[in-house]
Chains A and B, each alone.
Chain A
Amino acid sequence: MAATQTTGNAGPLEGLRVIEVGDLAEWAGKLLADAGADVVRVEPRDGARSRHAGPYVGDRPDTNHSLRFAAANTSKRSVTLDLGTDEGASLWADLVCRAELVLDGAGPDGLENIGLGASRFRGERAELLWCSITPFGLNGPWRDWAANDLVQLALGGPMMSTGYDDHSLPPIRADGEHSIAMSNEYAVTAILAALWLRDESDEASGQLIDVSIHESVGATTEGSFPNWEYLGQRVLRQTGRHAAAQRNARWQYKCTDGDYILLMGGGVPRDGKIFAGLLEWMDEHDAAGDLHDPKYAQVLYTDPTMNVEVRNHVATTIGEFVQQLTAEEAYRRGQSLHLPWGLVRRPEQNLADPHWADREFFWEGELSGHPEPVRYPGAPYKFLKSPVRLRRRPPLLGEHNHEVYVGELGRSADELPQLAASGVI
């Protein structure tokens, strides 16, 4: 089945008009924009926060050369606007007027305090969708607390499940602004569901959608939840594997080439046939130890209690074996035996894997400040008929001021320099 053929260029959300403001909604904006929505990011005059974060092209700070901004703002347009000015407020009202959805990442009071928030515009247009993404939600005792990605992943729970066997080392936050990703992914599900409802119903049923980053992160810690709710057990973080109520054998080993291999579940095969194939491979390296003893397969595949000691012994023996291999060899040969083992890659190493080239995963496009085209990570889904794709490179700051303010909002071209000079745009 070839999933990559498409019958046109229109994305699944073609025609959806969105404005995005603030710093907590940029991943949602990107997901919508890559899918064909017209997303206009409304930035302060000195640019969104991610423009000031880096890393930068050539490590030279420049609001148009931030890679953090580039990674989260493909396919959008950018306008600048100082919402604190009278003229800025008026332009904002015009922008909201032409949008079906406002993506509000400006904090619980960012827009309300200046009279430009959901309460005003939803009153004017009942069909408007307004999605607010805030650290803790729009109500509750922690509503106004200060937070960033580290604090959110601490409070939400992922960190206490993530780290090392050695608990003198701290819980770990994975790098990559995942609290923004999780909350923005949930936000998009809520937005699309609300859009569906709006168009299914006879009334003009807009919504205020109140997404809490804390809840989004907190909904995601898997086994720790039923362990506590059903069994009253807490889980312990462990190196490179799932947190568990009881310690278990390692899953991750350093191989001869210095790279790591991940052995899912400690590497123990899921059935006897795969176990036999693995033993054959281990025999080539004289590394099967005592695993040919039928008692192991017997316990693993016929005893439903899955004796923990046996599992740990088998896993440890497999772990010793893979340390004699390169990680690449363990990965390829393991997968050929239907073992769900993974090479622990640095992210950029995927650029060279031909499997992703076969799937046309990466998107080639321009990047401001860099002379050559670059490859952006593509979409997490391949639509047969409505491609999700790179629609335009990440915008320069205010690149679309003229296009939007003059071309779409009908301001006169002569007015723009004046608005810029007076600090409005």
Chain B
Amino acid sequence: MGVLEEADRSGDARPLPLAGVRVCDFTWIVAGPQATRILADLGADVVKVENESYLDSMRLGLQNPDRPPGYNGSGFHGNFSRNKRGITANLHHPSGREAAERLIAQSDIVIENFSAGAFDRLGFGWERLQELNPDAIYISLSGFGQTGRDNSYITWGPTAAAVSGATQMSGLPDEDPAGWGYSYLDHTAGYYGAIAALMALVHRRRTGEAQYVDMAQIETGMVLTGVPVLDYQVNGREYTRIGNRSEYPAIAPHNIYRCAGDAFEDDRWIAIVAESEGQWAALCEVLEAPELASDERFASNEARKQHEDELDAAITALTRPRDPRALMYTLQARGVAAGLCQRTDDKMEHDEQLAARGFYPTAPHDELGEHRYEGFPAQFSDARWRMVRGAPLLGGDNMEVLSELGYSPEEIGQMMAELAV
């Protein structure tokens, strides 16, 4: 029984869907680790391969200032590399390199998200991977893809959001683009990276054939821009921002309304959408505003859409003194779509739905201790996902993994002494 199986306290006998699938994981930062996080949550044996010269730099991110900084102190890194095992392999040392090659030889999937060409330059291009293991699937996830004239360009999540169009598609019409307040395209690229790996596995089982998948982070954002890309081609319309309103279909009210602040800040907002006349009537009742219900300007969805600025101002005047969570519950009880703009503390401490679904399971970590983690957002009737351990310590699973790869304790000691691992 390996270290992750030992750490599993669930007592759940249902299978992990990807048990037995091995992933050789050279990913770093967020996009690649997000892909392998999904595979690891679903039970794949993900072995994260690092070295001080290509350390996952997120290990240094968002450390607790009250503790000495170190490679194992990042909760940010922990959330993306949980449920994985970790080894160090110095690819510039012959026996470190050999350890990585043995791991590749036993893996179903090899995945990396270096800049285009970098993995090839490390000596692990597709041809070499095929020599090492003709059954290994190779997922490459770079910024602009391995081919194309700008393949040397580099991205982080926000770069990819900017170029793909995602940044422009967020914000108020008369303000700057708001973009995304986190690296949305790192996550999206990660989701598609996991999908690609699984599609390639399914294909391999059907045909016996392994393959190489070339992914460009920006393209994972561009696939989500179909509506404006088509609109431009057939209607000649350039994209313009719509704030929080709905133009297609035209619905009003459909916006974010300011509410009373809480103990932390005067910055609380609620989303309200009333699509049917019944919902509109219920909204007016809850807001105790018969004058809105009888106002000619707001007598139909079409009329409300026409007078949307006045409508939104009138609603804001009524929501401003109210507690947004209480208002949300009252509106939902009347069938009106409404939701507090939740902060993470709202989600983790006050969201009854996430609590009821067990969305924030806890797990141990050798340095950070017991903490909650974001769950996997689906439940299976006859299988499960897992949250068993935080991120591996840097090289923390060297002994276990290298033993599985056939190295004796003496050989492992020698490799450590030579800084090969």
Contacts and interface: CB of A to CB of B under 8 A. Distances in A.
Contacts of B237: 55
Interface stretch (B46-54, B93-101, B162-170, B402-410): B162-170
A338 B376 CA distance: 35
A154 B163 CA distance: 25
B378 A209 contact: yes
A106 interface: no
Contacts of B271: 150-151, 153-155, 159, 173
B368 A377 contact: no
A157 B350 CA distance: 13
Contacts of B203: 12-13, 383, 385-386
A383 B201 contact: no
A307 to B, nearest CB: 14
B20 interface: yes
A382 B164 contact: no
Given A197-B15, A260-B176, A222 B357 contact: no
B179 A218 contact: no
Contacts of A264: 156, 158-159
A186 B377 contact: yes
Interface string B215-231: 11001101111111111
Q: Is the interface of A mostly helix, strand, loop or mixed?
A: mixed
B289 interface: no
B375 interface: yes
Contacts of B162: 260-262, 342-345
Given A162-B178, A189-B42, A224 B344 contact: yes
Contacts of A389: none
Contacts of B229: 71, 347-348, 350-351, 375-377
Interface in A352-395: 354-356, 358-359, 361, 367, 370, 374-386, 388
A356 to B, nearest CB: 7
Contact of A163 (B120, B181, B184, B198): B181
B194 A137 contact: no
A115 interface: no
B213 interface: yes
A190 B194 CA distance: 10
Nearest to A259: B168
Nearest to A131: B378
A210 B378 contact: yes
B248 A347 contact: no
B144 interface: yes
A220 B375 CA distance: 10
Interface stretch (A86-94, A200-208, A295-303): A200-208
A15 interface: yes
B71 interface: no
Contacts of B156: 264-265, 340
Interface in A156-203: 156-164, 167, 169-176, 178, 181-183, 185-190, 192-197, 199-201
B361 interface: no
A234 interface: yes
A228 B156 CA distance: 23
B103 interface: no
A373 B346 CA distance: 48
Nearest to B204: A12
Given A251-B158, A355-B148, A192 B199 contact: yes
B342 A157 contact: yes
B332 A146 contact: yes
A186 B35 CA distance: 11
A254 interface: yes
Given A348-B228, A358-B148, A229 B234 contact: no
Interface stretch (B84-92, B185-193, B294-302, B411-419): B185-193
A212 interface: yes
A345 B181 contact: no
A106 to B, nearest CB: 17
A4 B145 CA distance: 11
A358 B235 CA distance: 26
A225 interface: yes
Contacts of A265: 156
A140 B351 CA distance: 11
A103 to B, nearest CB: 13
A235 B264 CA distance: 12
Interface string A65-78: 00110111000000
A303 B375 CA distance: 36
B343 A234 contact: yes
Interface string A299-325: 000001000000000000000000000
Interface in A1-56: 1-4, 12-15, 31, 35, 52-55
Contacts of A63: none
B327 interface: no
A148 interface: yes
Interface string B135-175: 00000100111111111111110111111111111111001
Q: Which 9 A-B pairs have the closest CB atoms?
A: A347-B165, A71-B226, A161-B181, A342-B162, A3-B214, A215-B377, A348-B232, A347-B225, A192-B198
6 contacts: A54-B248, A196-B18, A209-B379, A225-B374, A242-B181, A382-B215
Given A189-B38, A226-B76, A342-B158, 9 more contacts: A55-B231, A164-B172, A195-B202, A207-B381, A211-B377, A229-B75, A344-B167, A350-B229, A374-B230
